[in-house]
Amino acid sequence: MRVDVLTIFPEMFTGFLNTSIIKRAREQGHLTVNLVDIRDYARNKHRSVDDYPFGGGPGMVMQAEPIFLAVEALLPGAGAVRPPIILLSPQGEVFNQALASELARQERLILICGHYEGVDERVRQFLVNREVSIGDYVLTGGELPAMVIIDAVTRLLPGVLGDPAGATEDSFAMGLLEYPQYTRPRSFRGLEVPEVLLSGNHEQIRLWRRQQALERTWRRRPDLLAKLELSPEDRRLLVDIIRRAENEELQGE
Peptide bond into 145 cis (omega under 30): no
Least Å distance, CB 75 to ligand 4HQ, is 23
138 assigned binding-site residue: yes
State in Å, rounded, how far the first CA of the chain is from the last one.
51
Q: Which is nearer to ligand 4HQ, 53 or 90 (CB)?
A: 90
Q: Which of 50, 160, 166, 151 is nearest to 109 (CA)?
A: 151
Q: How would DSSP label each residue in 47-70? A: ---EEPPTT--SS-EE-HHHHHHH
Q: Which is nearer to ligand 4HQ, 36 or 88 (CB)?
A: 88
Strand locations in the chain, DSSP E? 2-7, 32-37, 50-51, 61-62, 85-94, 108-113, 130-133, 187-188, 191-192
Q: Does 139 bind ligand 4HQ (CB under 6 A)?
A: yes
114 assigned binding-site residue: yes
Indicate the angle between helix axes 97-104 and 143-154, nearest 10 degrees.
70
Which among 40-48, 102-110, 138-146, 226-234 is the span making contact with ligand 4HQ, rule CB under 6 A? 138-146
Least Å distance, CB 112 to ligand 4HQ, is 9
| The binder of ligand 4HQ chosen from 145, 179, 211, 213 (CB under 6 A) | 145
150 assigned binding-site residue: no
Q: Which of 117, 169, 246, 248 is catalytic?
A: 117
Number of helices (H) and strands (E) in the chain: give both, helices first.
11, 9
What binding mask, one character per residue, do residues 70-99 give for ligand 4HQ by CB under 6 A, x or -? ------------------xxx---------
- Strand 85-94, strand 61-62: pairing: unpaired
What binding mask, one character per residue, do residues 107-136 give for ligand 4HQ by CB under 6 A, x or -? -------xx--x--------------xxx-
Least Å distance, CB 61 to ligand 4HQ, is 9
Active site residue 222: no
Q: Does 197 bind ligand 4HQ (CB under 6 A)?
A: no
135 assigned binding-site residue: yes
Active site residue 90: yes
Q: Which is nearer to ligand 4HQ, 22 or 87 (CB)?
A: 87
Our CA dihedral for 188, 192, 198, 204, rounded to 10 degrees, sits at -140
Q: Which of 185, 72, 82 is nearest to 130 (CA)?
A: 82
Q: Are residues 115 and 50 in contact, defined by beta-carbon separation less than 8 angstroms? A: yes
SS3 content of the chain, % helix, strand, coil (to 5): 45, 15, 40
Q: Which of 2, 26, 82, 155 is catalytic?
A: 155
Q: Does 60 bind ligand 4HQ (CB under 6 A)?
A: no
Residues that bind ligand 4HQ (CB under 6 A): 88-90, 114-115, 118, 133-135, 137-139, 141-142, 145
Annotated binding residues for S-adenosyl-L-methionine, written as ranges, equal: 114, 134-139
